Amino acid sequence: MAPLYTNTDIHTCQLQHSLRSASLELSLAQSKHSVEAVARDEEIRKLRVSQGLLENDNSDLHEQLEEEQARSDGLENALDDALLNLDEQKAESEVAQNQIRTQSREIANLKVGLSSPSTT
């Protein structure tokens, strides 16, 4: 009886099996590369979304800073006006106190003059 498979048949089968394995390994490598590319693209997309959100936040913070700066400038101007007004009020108060002192002395001198006998 003749053998079922010859050496050539076995060798051909082994070559086909090796070729199939190499083809599957190549396909696996291509799939891995595709998955890695998709993962990189997804990471880039996430980073771009994050960047956009951060830029929006940054813009909002700049607007808020400008508003607060304007508010601060207004408060600073109001404080300067109030301090100037206070200085003016202090000056007016000093003038008034000096007038009161002068008038009090004049009144005291007049009282002394009226209460003392005249030497005429």
* Mean per-residue pLDDT over the chain, rounded: 93
Mean pLDDT of all residues in 38-63: 98
d(CA 8, CA 19): 16
d(CA 16, CA 18): 5
pLDDT tens string 15-39 = 999 999 999 999 999 999 999 999 9
User: CA 114 from chain center: how many Å?
Assistant: 78
Residue 13: partners with Cβ closer than 8 Å, 6 or more residues away: 5
pLDDT at 118 over 70: no
